[in-house]
Amino acid sequence: MVDSEVGDAARCRRVRLTLQLSLGTLLFVACTVVAPRAPPRAPPAVPSAPVAASAPTPAGQPVPAQPAEPQIGPRVSITIHADDGHALTLWSRLPAAPIGSIVLLHGRTWSSVPDFDLEVPDRSRDRSRSLMAALAKAGFATYALDLRGYGATPRDASGWNTPDRAAKDLATAVAHVRAQHPTLPPPAVLGWSLGSLVAQLLAQRDATAVSALVLYGYPRDPDRPGRAGGSRSTVREPKREPNTAAAAASDFITQQSIDRPSIDAFIAAALAADPIRADWRAMEQFGVLDPAAVHVPTLVIHGAGDPFAPVANQAKLFVRLAAADRAWVVIPGGDHAAHLEDCGDAFVHAVVGFLARRVGQLVAVPSP
Q: What is the pLDDT of residues 277-299, one digit of tens each?
A: 999 999 999 999 999 999 999 99
pLDDT of residue 67: 52
pLDDT of residue 357: 83
pLDDT of residue 233: 62
Residue 235: CB atoms within 10 Å = 13
pLDDT of residue 231: 61
pLDDT of residue 48: 40
Contact (CB, 8 A) for 265 and 230: no
pLDDT digits (tens, 9 = 90+) for 56-105: 445 555 555 545 567 899 999 999 999 999 999 999 999 999 999 999 99
Residues lower than pLDDT 50 in the chain: 1-57, 66, 125-126, 362, 366-368
3-state secondary structure 193-206: CHHHHHHHHHHHHC
pLDDT of residue 62: 54
**Per DSSP, what are the bridge partners of residue 210?**
none
CA dihedral over 133, 138, 141, 142, signed as positive or negative? negative
pLDDT of residue 61: 54
pLDDT of residue 53: 40
Contact (CB, 8 A) for 95 and 49: no
Contact (CB, 8 A) for 335 and 307: yes
Residue among 106, 104, 231 nearest 161 (CA):
231
Architecture of domain 76-359: 3-Layer(aba) Sandwich (3.40)
**Per DSSP, what are the bridge partners of residue 192?**
216
pLDDT of residue 361: 52
Which helix H or strand E contains 260, and what residues bound it?
helix 260-273
Distance between CA atoms of residues 59 and 116, nearest Å:
45
**Per DSSP, what are the bridge partners of residue 191?**
105, 215
pLDDT of residue 121: 83
pLDDT of residue 23: 36
pLDDT of residue 43: 39
